[in-house]
Amino acid sequence: MAELNLVLLGPPGSGKGTQGERLNEDLRLPYYATGDILRAAVRDKTELGRTAKGYMDAGDLVPDEVIVGVIVEALDSDAARDGFILDGFPRTTPQAEALDAKLDELGRRVTAVLLIDVTDDEVVRRIGGRRTCAENGHVFHVDFNPPKREGACDIDGSELITRDDDNPATIRNRLNQYHEKTEPLVDYYDQRSVLRRIDGEKDPDEVAEEIRRTLATMRLEQDEAV
């Protein structure tokens, strides 16, 4: 496989960030979270970064064409020559079409889209179970990493709170946004035969192993097709 250009897709709380970091370690490919790319472009004062900053300073949404430009600027680099791992973009079908068009201009394409599949109820359980230390931000979870004493941080003893972002109603709203705007990408990439479904409800180590097997199978299929 000449290069491995991966997009991580899935609802909030599906574990994309965790698996993206593992893929970064396993494959030695750069891992790009959309927000990080945008902030780096603004910090480095690239032409597109200055354009994006103008919208952000005005409190406006950064247009798709600017976001795509910033992302492709990062992907068209020596660091990403052998491939990349993209998390958080595209979020909509028009963004996916724009990304494909820009990559095509570079003679590249998305190799695989890894859909980390998790039900809404599991997302609410994962995110809604977080408890954050009010004093220093230490994070616990009522199921996966409960504090020794309920309601109190193990490290500094301060109160554990539920952040607004972790409120079940807020989570459901984020999920509704995902289903409305991002989930259509499942069909978009499936029609292009690059979608690979991963069971995201397993233990993170098992999810990582399933991704490794999926990528190995892709390499084998490509070698056989040559």
Which pLDDT value is given to residue 225?
Answer: 64
Indicate whether 3 pLDDT > 90.
no
d(CA 148, CA 63): 47
d(CA 209, CA 16): 14
Indicate whether 71 pLDDT > 80.
yes
Q: Is residue 126 part of a domain?
A: no
Which pLDDT value is given to residue 174?
Answer: 92
Q: Is residue 94 part of a domain?
A: yes
Encoded tokens for 19 = 């698996």
- Catalytic pick from 53, 163, 202, 212? 163
Encoded tokens for 202 = 């397993």
Q: How far is CA 103 from CA 28, 71, 99, in A?
A: 21, 10, 6
Q: Please say if 163 is a catalytic residue.
A: yes
Reported as a single tens digit per residue, the pLDDT across 108-144 is: 999 999 999 999 999 999 999 999 999 999 999 999 9
Residue 137 CB coordination number (10 Å): 10
Amino acid at 3: E
- pLDDT confidence bin for 1, thresholds 50/70/90: low
Omega before 30 cis (within 30°)? no
Q: Is residue 154 part of a domain?
A: no
Q: Please say if 16 is a catalytic residue.
A: yes
Positive or negative: CA dihedral 102, 106, 111, 114 = negative
- Catalytic pick from 39, 53, 172, 174? 174
Positive or negative: CA dihedral 138, 178, 98, 210 = positive
Please give the average per-residue pLDDT across 47-69, as a whole number. 86
H-run or E-run covering 42: helix 34-44
Q: Is residue 146 part of a domain?
A: no
Q: Is residue 48 part of a domain?
A: yes
User: Percentage of the chain surpassing pLDDT 70?
Assistant: 98
**Greater pLDDT, 55 or 189:** 189
Contact in structure between 116 and 198 (CB atoms under 8 Å): yes
Contact in structure between 175 and 167 (CB atoms under 8 Å): no
Give residue 97's domain range: 4-119+169-225
- pLDDT confidence bin for 155, thresholds 50/70/90: very high
Q: Strand ranges (DSSP E) for 30-79?
A: 31-33
- Catalytic pick from 22, 130, 131, 196? 130
Contact in structure between 66 and 52 (CB atoms under 8 Å): yes
Reported as a single tens digit per residue, the pLDDT across 180-192 is: 999 999 999 999 9
Residue 184 is part of a domain; what is its CATH number?
A: 3.40.50.300
Q: Is residue 10 part of a domain?
A: yes
Which pLDDT value is given to residue 222?
Answer: 74
Q: Please say if 125 is a catalytic residue.
A: no
- pLDDT confidence bin for 205, thresholds 50/70/90: very high
Which pLDDT value is given to residue 59?
Answer: 78
- The overall average pLDDT reported for the chain is 92
Q: Is residue 134 part of a domain?
A: no
Return phi, psi of residue 182, to 5°. Answer: -100, -35
**Greater pLDDT, 34 or 141:** 141
Please give the average per-residue pLDDT across 3-12, as a whole number. 95
Q: How far is CA 76 from CA 64, 72, 81, 132, 146, in A?
A: 18, 6, 7, 38, 43
Domains contained in the chain, number: 1
